[in-house]
Every structure is written in C-alpha cells, then in structure tokens.
Structure 1
Amino acid sequence: MLASGNSKNLKSVTGIMEQEQHERNRGVVKEDLISELPEELLLHILSSLPTKRVIATSVLSKRWRSLWKMVPKLEFNSNFHYTHQFSENVGRTLFSHKAPVLESFHLKVSGRYSQSRACDEIDIGVWTEIAFERHVRELVLELCSERCVRFPISMFSFSTTLETLILKYSVLVDVPSPVCMKSLRTLHLESVDFKDSESIRNLISGCPNLEELVIYQCYRKDVVLTFTIVAPFLKRLVITDYFVGSENGGYVINAPSLKYLTLKGVSHYGCCLIENVPMLVEAKIREVSYIANENIVGSLTSVKRLFLDVSPLEIKFPTDSIFYQLVHLKMHTRREEWWNLLMLMLNSSPKLQFLKLTDEKRKFRKRGLVGRKWIEPKNVPECLLPHLKMFVWTRYRWESELEKEVATYILKNARQLKNASFSRRPIHSKEHHKLEERCKMVKELDGVVRASSSCHLVFVVDSVE
C-alpha cells in the first residue's frame, strides 16, 4: 500500500491512466507506461476509482483484462444503470470477483431500480452474503425504497472481519436475538427503521468492541423505542433525533470509555439517561428539550469541553453539580434566558479558562427577551477570579442592552483575562445611520474598567453574513 504522503502521486498516476485510456479510445497508440507498474500499485490506484470505471479498464490490454477482479473495493449505484441491468451487473461482478479479502462493499439502491423492484430482499440478501464470504471489512448499505428491506442480521454471527457497518434509509433492523460481532468498531444507523427496542438492544450489545456509534432519526414508524446503549469501549457517540418522542421511550447510555458525545434534537422523551461517562472529553448538547424527569447536563460533570445550545426553560440544570474538569465552554445566545444558563454554568465551573458565546444563525430570535432583564449576581463566580483567560463573543448584538450588560460584567470581574474578542455583522450601505451607534458601543466597551490590566480587547467584523 502507498503511504499517505503519496496521495498526490496517486492522483497524478490516476490521471495519466485515464488519459491513456481516452487516447486508446481515439485510436492513438502510445507507449503503455502504466501497465509496467507493480500489480500492488495498480490495485491501489484502481481502488480509488468507482467500480464501473475499474471494470472498464479491462479493455486496455491483456495485462488489465482480469486485474479488476482483484481490486479489494466494490461500489454499486443503481442510478448509473438501467433497471433490468443493475441486478445482473452486480451479481455478475460479485461472482467474477476474486480478491480474497473485500476491504469495502458499498451498495446504493435508489431511482428506477428501487421503484420497479422495491429493493428485492432476495437480491440484497445474496449480495451481502457474498460480501461476507469474501471477509468484508466495511459494508455500506444505502436503500431508498417505498418499503423497508429487512437486513440479514443472521449473517453477522458468521463474520469475524466486519469492522464498519453503515445502514441508511429503507432498511429494517430486526434482531430478535443477540448477535456476535466482535470485530465491529464503527456502526452508523441513519434513518433506518427498528422493529422494536429489543432489536436495538440486541444489535448494540452484540458489538462488545464498538468504538463509534452514530444514530440519525428524522422519521420513523409509530413505534415506541428505547435506545439502550451499553458499550464498554465506545469512544464516540453521535445522536441526532428529530422524531417527536414518546414518554415511554428515550435513550439509556452506559459507556465508561466515552470521550466524545453529541446529542441533537432529542425532544419530548420520557428519559435520556447518561450513566458512567468518567472519561468524557467533549460534549455537544443542541436543541435537546422537554425530557421528563432527567438531568442531562448534570450527568456530564466530568467533561472538559462543553457546547450548549439549549434553554434553561426547556431542560433541567443540576444546581448542586460541579464541573471540576470543564475548561472550555461554548454557549448559544439564541435560546430563551440563555444568560441565566450562562451564570449557572459559570458558578458550576471553577476551572473554566475559555468562554465563547455565539449566535450561529443569521437572524437573531428575539423571542424570550421581551420583559426579561439581566440581574447581576451578588457573588462573582469562582472561575472569573483565577482561571478565565479567553473570552470570545461572535455575532455580538451591539444594539442589545442585555448583551452589553453581560459583556461588561465579565470584563469587570475576570481578573486573569488575557483576550476578549467581539465580532459583529457588517453594516451595509443602507444602514449608515447605525454606524455612529456602533462606534459608541465600541467606545463604551473599550472604556470599561477591566479587572485584568493585561486584557487585550479586539473588535472584529464578520466576513460572512
């Protein structure tokens, strides 16, 4: 295999190969330099090309006639075939393929084939069975059909090589009994259907060495599900769930080795219980709301970097929890009463060193600001005295009195602050009347008597609106 530093050379050689094939098609005869390369290098080059183009190289010369059969990567897309040809082409290619180990097998079924054949389960079953017989290491199954195809889970018990499994869209995950996939390290379940909660439990518990799990749900049938995730070696977990949950469903996570966690869109579930995550390095909690009787933020006290895009009105906050390891906090300022959540976090994070406030949306949501005011706390949070060194506020709303008060408070109390940066949206030609007001804001903030005499204040204009 080529070293990673030779990627540019690989692209160059691939380009030469494609040019030679083009010239042969035009009837131009030139010295064949590519064919003189070692077979290992040629197979590596072919592995970077789509399977359809790899097979096309068989007409180049006698040397290339059977070379494609040893390429360890196969990729099929029904969009590139006529309906009656796709099944034949996939089957013929798989039966002719001779590579002892199949590094990856990607199957995308959509368009005309999925409409006419409804993603025939027999075809899918045969193709995946052949892939498992070839000791496949990465399997990606992307099906777009009017009905779901039941994935042949029974094959997992016979696989000792599968390391990555990615299932997308019209796939039904039905696992009536525990499976055994000791080699699986990465599992992505994106917009698939699950028969029941037991299928989820059996699938994940059957992957004892799982290190990365991605769950994406935007729509599913009306089935109450509890995602039980017990994974002793899981390091990265990403859950994006825009399905309106049920009080009888939710997430239960037990991952003692977890380092990176993302929760997004999880809403209206009966539970979202996160247990036993002592090694957590980074957590992102976005748009999570109305979880019954649970304390999501309070279960993350071991985290070192935390991003919050939630409202304290929609999620419970652990008033008695302390984030002893938290050094980096990023918070969104577009949620209701975000400033109260900020103070709760500052009071609970004694070692915080970096604070970033941001509004990544182009238009600020004013809902929640009317009738609500910033109330300066009586006691200064401990982190502002000896630890906070960096304060960044992107898309700072200079016309907001509330944001001005929050910024002033931090500047007046952060004794070890080294840098404070504020970015604002640009003023367009039709808004020249606002220029004077903005200049006034800059002077006011610059004139604040800062607790840190070494604090460097910077004002930046956003380059993207």
Structure 2
Amino acid sequence: MDSISQLPDALLLGVLSLLPAKDVVATMILSKRWQFLWMFVPKLIYDDNYQNIEFERLSRFVYRSLLLHEAPVIETLHFIIRPKSNVVDIGVWTRTAVKRCVRELIIEMDCSSSSTAPVMLPRSLYSGCSILVKLKLKKVVLVDVTSPFSFPSLKELSLKSVKYPDEEFVQSLLSNCPVLESLVVKQCPNDNATIFTVKNSSLKSLVLENQDLRYNDIGAGYVIDAPSLEKFKIRDLHEDRFCVIENEMPNIVEADIDVAYGHPGKILSSITSVKHLTLCITSSKDAYPVGLAFCSLVYLEIWTLDTEWSNDLNLLMCVLRDSPNLRALKLEQLDCDGDRSCWMEPSSAPECVIWSLETLELVDYEGAEEEKKVIAFILRNANCLKKATISTESTDPNKRLEMLKELELFPRRSPNCQLAFYYSP
C-alpha cells in the first residue's frame, strides 16, 4: 500500500473512479494520505444493489458523501436504483447533484425487479444544469414545468423507458438543447408520446427504438426534422406505425433501418447520401421506391425476413442497381424455409457487382437452391471481388463438406477471389 500511496493524485483518482462510491469512501481509513483523497474523485457510482445495502443506509451515505465531496466539477454521477427505493430521496439526490456542477448524470432504474414503479425526477433538473454535457435516464418520469428550462451545454441525451407529461413536452425538451449531438430514445407503453417528434438542427446521431409489441397505438410513430444528422438508427417492429422525415438529411453517413412499416421506402428516400447501410425490412413487397440513387454507398448489409424470398432478392437487386460504387456486401438471415417463389436472375448484373464489389459475406448459409443462385450470380459477374466469406450454422460435418465442395465449383469472374467457408455456431 505504501508504494501505491506514492503515486500522483491524478493517477490515484483515476483508479478510484473505477470503483463503486462505497469503496471509494472506504479508502479514507487507509492512511492520512488517503483520508481526504476520496473527496476529489471525479466519478461517483451509487448502486443500491451493491453488497445488498439497505436503502436507508445507502440514502444516508449518499447525502453525506455528496455534501462532503469537494471536487469543483463531478465528471460523472451515476445512480443505479431499485424500484423499491424511496422516490423522495432520489429527488433530493438529483437536486443535490445538480448543485454540484455535474457534467455527466446517469439515473437508471434496475429493471431486474418485478416492480415497474418509475422514479419521478424533480423540476430542478431542468433549470440548474448549465454545464451538464451528458444526461442518461432509464425508467424515470419527467414532470412538467411552467417556467422556461434549457440545457445549454448538453451534447448527449439518452431516454430509455421514460414517461413524459405529453408530446409537447418532448418537443420543448429537444428544442431547448441547442448543442445536442446525440439522442437515444427507447419508447415504452403509455409514455404519453404517441407521436415522438425530434426537431433539432444540431443533432448528428439519432437512435430510435420501439420493440415492445404491447406498444402499438393507432396513429403512433416518429416525426423527424434533423438536417445535420450523420448517423441514424431506427428499430420498430410495428406494421401500423410510421416515420415521417420532414426535411432532407444530406449529411447521413451511416444508417441502420429495421422496420416493419408498409412503406419504408419513405425513409430510404431521405438517406441517399449514406455510405454504410444496414437494412432489415420484414415485408419487402413494394418497399423500395423507384428513382433512388445511393452514389456514396460503399457498405451494404441486408437482413431479409420476407416469406417470399424472391421479394427479398428483388429488393437486394434494386439496392445493388442503385449503388454503383458499392465495395462490400453482407447478407444475413436469408430465411429459406417453406414454399418459395422462384427467383429469376436479372438479364444483366448491377454495375457495382461488375466493377466495384470487393467483398461478399453470407451468414447462416443453408445450401438452399436460392442461396446458391445468388452466390453463383455474384461470383460469375464480379470482376473485382477479392474475398467471398460464407458461414453456416449446420452442425453436420458431412453437410458442411458437401456445401464447401459445391461452392468451390462455382465459376469466379475475378481470378483473385478467395473463398472462405467456416462453421459459426
């Protein structure tokens, strides 16, 4: 311990930042060197599950440690709270945290409990966080405020299973974050935001998730107006919902689209500048609009779950046709079970397959005829293909050997193309 005590304060504080707050404060008994060091730790984690601490004891500990803490700025303050915790205490903690010049505030309810009672945050959260840069909330309730509020320094905001006063509150919240760059939203049932509107001119990264099948209100969906957006991810499992993008997003570089909407093509039409695209459409019939051009697209990953695999392959060919500079293609979860319509190869290969495609990857290969047709079509036409990687989950070594023999016999247009085949359990 003596040798550790000789280390610089900055290094010791960095080590202490990795520990739960209970252990951080406990170091004060080690020696005079450590007696006051804990008061300047820039990161505090209060977890009321840690070592099965009773909430009453934890509450007293949080009060005292925050009052005694002397760091001019707390870089990260993280509360992990059980649902049975006293919401009054949590409100006081949050008010105390706001006064302590926190740069990153994380409040999350531990969802391992069967209780679903949310934590209600105090109104002071909206008015005293002038230097707050990151705010992450999980399973809490945001209360309405009559006075103006703002987060002038907030750059990252995460709202998971959060409940709001109403839809207007959501719009007001986001509009009062003038430098916001990253937003993560995971909706929950009865969150009072049937139409979740994201309007923010500074936003660069947006993640929207709604995978709870209980939450499928009629007329529910998203409205997005974020012209500076560079990264966009949306996962929505509900066929009757929607996503409206009000203005173009010309700066999109990376997009991950996983929706069950009847017309997802409206989203695709707004992200034509994308370079890295992951696409999963559960109903690909009439999903792809005419006239798109993904001239910047270099990486494409497609997950297709349609019951008619010919629809999936037609969708794939449409995207390939409109992506003249594509260099990498990954196909995943091409479900081949059941009756399938026969896929007809196009009369000519897409331009990107002939002149720019360098890598092909097919995951969960089963050796079905339609799969073999796709692989053979690409290998036969790809002049620049360097590597084709194919993985299977088949546990039968004889079947895997037969798959490999068949694949090796497919003609390859590119003399430099290497075929990699492996088992992926």
Relative to the length of structure 2, the TM-score reads: 0.89
- C-alpha spacing 1:304/1:436, structure 2 compared with 1 (3 Å): closer
Alignment of 1:285-304 (within 5 A): 285-286=257-258, 288-291=259-262, 295-304=266-275
Kept after mapping to 1: 8 A contact 2:79/2:107: yes
Distance 1:416 1:461 in 2: 23
Instruction: Verify: 1:342 aligned to 2:316, yes or no.
Output: yes
Alignment counterpart, residue 406 of structure 2, candidates 438, 441, 444? 441
Instruction: Verify: 1:460 aligned to 2:421, yes or no.
Output: yes
Partner of 1:200: 170
Alignment of 1:104-143 (within 5 A): 104-110=76-82, 114-115=83-84, 117=85, 119-120=86-87, 122-143=88-109
Distance 2:129 2:161 in 1: 24
Instruction: Verify: 1:352 aligned to 2:326, yes or no.
Output: yes
Kept after mapping to 2: 8 A contact 1:174/1:196: no
Q: Secondary structure at the match of 1:194?
A: coil
Q: Secondary structure at the match of 1:139?
A: strand
Structure 1 residue 130, shift from structure 2 partner: 1.4
Kept after mapping to 2: 8 A contact 1:289/1:314: no
Partner of 1:327: 298
Structure 1 residue 439, shift from structure 2 partner: 5.0
Partner of 1:370: 339
Alignment of 1:61-210 (within 5 A): 61-80=31-50, 81-110=53-82, 114-115=83-84, 117=85, 119-120=86-87, 122-144=88-110, 146-169=116-139, 171-176=140-145, 179-210=149-180
Alignment counterpart, residue 222 of structure 2, candidates 246, 251, 276? 251
Partner of 1:268: 239
Alignment of 1:402-421 (within 5 A): 402-421=370-389
- C-alpha spacing 1:83/1:388, structure 2 compared with 1 (3 Å): closer
Partner of 1:12: none
Q: Deviations over 1:139-163 (max 9, x none)?
A: 0101245422222244332222100
- C-alpha spacing 1:176/1:65, structure 2 compared with 1 (3 Å): closer
Structure 1 residue 443, shift from structure 2 partner: 4.2
- C-alpha spacing 1:415/1:67, structure 2 compared with 1 (3 Å): closer
Kept after mapping to 2: 8 A contact 1:308/1:330: yes
Q: Secondary structure at the match of 2:93?
A: helix
Structure 1 residue 188, shift from structure 2 partner: 0.8
Partner of 1:234: 203
- C-alpha spacing 1:44/1:406, structure 2 compared with 1 (3 Å): closer
Distance 1:157 1:224 in 2: 23
Q: Mark the runs of 5 or more structure 1 residues left unpaired by the alignment.
A: 1-19, 21-31
Kept after mapping to 1: 8 A contact 2:184/2:207: yes
Structure 1 residue 175, shift from structure 2 partner: 4.0
Q: Mark the runs of 5 or more structure 2 residues left unpaired by the alignment.
A: none
Q: Deviations over 1:277-299 (max 9, x none)?
A: 2111111112x112568712222
What is the RMSD of the two structures over their aligned residues, measured on CA atoms? 2.5
Partner of 1:16: none
Structure 1 residue 323, shift from structure 2 partner: 1.1
Distance 2:256 2:407 in 1: 32
Higher Rg: 1
Structure 1 residue 39, shift from structure 2 partner: 3.2
Q: Deviations over 1:113-171 (max 9, x none)?
A: x42x5x32x322221111111110010101245422222244332222100101012x1
Q: Deviations over 1:417-454 (max 9, x none)?
A: 3333333345536xx3x366435513432xx2x443x3
Q: Deviations over 1:334-364 (max 9, x none)?
A: 44432121011112212222212123xxxx7
Distance 2:219 2:97 in 1: 38
Distance 1:39 1:380 in 2: 64
Distance 1:105 1:396 in 2: 46
- Count how many residue pairs are aligned between Structure 1 and Structure 2: 412
Partner of 2:282: 311
Distance 2:230 2:182 in 1: 10
Distance 1:235 1:435 in 2: 44
Q: Deviations over 1:295-336 (max 9, x none)?
A: 122221110111112234367212221111111111125444
Distance 2:7 2:352 in 1: 62
Kept after mapping to 2: 8 A contact 1:247/1:292: no
Aligned residue type for 2:342: K
Kept after mapping to 2: 8 A contact 1:271/1:294: no
Alignment counterpart, residue 277 of structure 1, candidates 245, 249, 254? 249
Structure 1 residue 176, shift from structure 2 partner: 4.9
- C-alpha spacing 1:333/1:267, structure 2 compared with 1 (3 Å): closer
